[in-house]
Amino acid sequence: MAVRKSVKKLRKKPTKEKEILILEEAYNKANNIDNDRISFLKLEGSPDMWDEVYNRFNKMKVRQNLVKSVIPLEIMSTGRIIQFKMVNYDEEIINAKKKAAEYFYIHGKELLARDDRENAKRAYFEFKRCRALYPNYKDIDELLATSKFLATLKVIAEPIPMHSQTFQLSNEFFDNKINEFLGSMPSSEFVKFYTTSEANAIDLDNPDHILKIKFDDFIVGQTLVKEKEIHLTKDNVIMGIKEGNKVKTGEDRINICHKSGPKSEKQNTMAIPVNAWSSHASHGDYLGSCKTATPDGEGSEEGELEVITGTVKAVLFLTTKTIVSKGLLDFKIVDAKTDRVLTQEKFPGSYAWTCDWGYFNGDGRALNAAQKQSVGGKELPPPPPQVLFVEFTKPIYDQLTLKVKGFYKNY
């Protein structure tokens, strides 16, 4: 790092003495460290040393090429020329590379011969390091495939049993969603999920785990009907507007002074129905024509305007129909070789479809927006049972996939 930094600075200013001295010291120090380490490794003679030897020779070659780009360097104040000994590292690099690849290859085969999953995994990584050095080394691709297969935990997901023909299609949809998730799950590269048909297609008769999934119980389309009688009262409702001796209500028209916007000075007189005054008042409009209007509506040439408020009442008869669908899924992972249950969990799921409708007696102004919507509605047909089944399985799917991810993340 120090060498690269100094070279970068010297390319811009090759006569900077301080940086020349820093480069000289850093270069010699780094080379001494690498040479000492290589000497130690060769003296020790461990068969796995060659990858490190190869990397250290490579580092020295890269370092040397860096200083080549800025030499010759001279300390102008003393006239000293900085000397960097140039070495041809190619033979050492090639030799170490060959021996490193050979070691990874032989060691990988030794690990593979131990015939267990963990050693097959270690062998796979040794073969990968060999191929990184020589992509076409002997039968390395075949050994990579073999070690990967032996290192991979093979899990068969059994289809979910379904005894009701009515829900066969929905059950297949849920089953397919799970298999789609298992096929794309970003867990360990050493876990592979198979459907039973996929396992049969490759004659996989020795899986490691079996995923067993079944519904312990489910109900689709349980109907609940609830009727309510709600007494409603609302105060301060505009009942009318008194103009002189006459009270105007409903669609009777009155003059108001309408402002174009909350910050606008522009205003104009307009006639509106009495029942529209409430919304205009909230915008800052005034009762009466603009030339005579005042905020409280008094003093108009058209006669005194007065808002009359009162209390309105209504009785709302509301019917709520709820279609409940729910179920409980049993999930377990079984060791295929010992039949031992490795983990088991129950996942609940539910879905409620609702429909509200009703009518009222009395003054509709006592109803809020949601109540008015219910009054305007009607009884709707519920979704078909297959759709209800899919809906209540959605939260089950979320719980199941989270469980599978957590269980296999360290494999």
Distance between start and end Cα atoms, the chain: 37
pLDDT above 70 for 50: yes
235 half-sphere exposure, CB direction, 13 A CA radius: 0
- Using CA atoms, how far residue 45 sits from 42, 53, 95, in Å, is 5, 11, 15
One-letter identity of residue 5: K
**What would the mean pLDDT of 8-25 be, rounded to a whole number?**
91
User: What is the DSSP code string of 370-383?
Assistant: HHHHHHH----PPP
What is residue 334's predicted lDDT score, i.e. its pLDDT?
98
**Rounded mean pLDDT of the chain?**
89
Least confident of 289-293, 315-319, 388-392: 289-293
Range from 73-77, 378-382, 396-400 that averages highest in pLDDT: 396-400
Residues 6 or more apart whose Cβ sits within 8 Å of residue 333: 155, 209, 210, 211, 212, 341, 342, 343, 344, 407
Least confident of 166-170, 215-219, 314-318, 402-406: 166-170
Parallel, antiparallel, or unpaired for β 341-362 and 305-335? antiparallel
pLDDT in tens, 314-370: 999 999 999 999 999 999 999 999 999 999 999 999 999 999 899 999 998 899 988
What is residue 297's predicted lDDT score, i.e. its pLDDT?
47
Rounded Cα gap, residues 315 and 307, in angstroms: 26
Residue 310: pLDDT band (50, 70, 90) is confident
What is residue 299's predicted lDDT score, i.e. its pLDDT?
43
pLDDT in tens, 18-46: 999 999 999 999 999 999 999 999 999 99
Residues 6 or more apart whose Cβ sits within 8 Å of residue 1: none
267 half-sphere exposure, CB direction, 13 A CA radius: 22
Q: What percent of the chain has pLDDT over 90?
A: 60
What is residue 168's predicted lDDT score, i.e. its pLDDT?
66
pLDDT above 80 for 294: no
Parallel, antiparallel, or unpaired for β 191-195 and 153-157? parallel
Q: What percent of the chain has pLDDT over 70?
A: 94
The model's pTM: 0.67
pLDDT above 80 for 264: no
Rounded Cα gap, residues 36 and 75, in angstroms: 29
What is residue 187's predicted lDDT score, i.e. its pLDDT?
60
User: What is the DSSP code string of 126-184?
Assistant: HHHHHHHH-TT-TTHHHHHHHHHHHHSEEEEEPPPP---GGGHHHHHHHHHHHHHHHHH
What is residue 402's predicted lDDT score, i.e. its pLDDT?
92
What is residue 300's predicted lDDT score, i.e. its pLDDT?
47
pLDDT in tens, 140-156: 999 999 999 999 999 99
What is residue 270's predicted lDDT score, i.e. its pLDDT?
85
Higher pLDDT residue, 285 or 399?
Answer: 399
Higher pLDDT residue, 243 or 67?
Answer: 67
Residue corresponding to tokens 């008094």:
298
What is residue 241's predicted lDDT score, i.e. its pLDDT?
84
What is residue 303's predicted lDDT score, i.e. its pLDDT?
57
Higher pLDDT residue, 286 or 201?
Answer: 201
**What would the mean pLDDT of 122-136 be, rounded to a whole number?**
97
Give CA angle at 182 (176, 187), nearest 5°.
165
pLDDT above 90 for 276: no
pLDDT in tens, 72-117: 998 988 889 998 999 999 999 999 999 999 999 999 999 999 999 9
Q: Which two tokens stand for residue 365?
A: 């102004």
What is residue 329's predicted lDDT score, i.e. its pLDDT?
93
DSSP 187: S
pLDDT above 60 for 298: no
Quick check: bond before 383 cis, omega within 30?
no
**What would the mean pLDDT of 257-285 be, rounded to a whole number?**
77
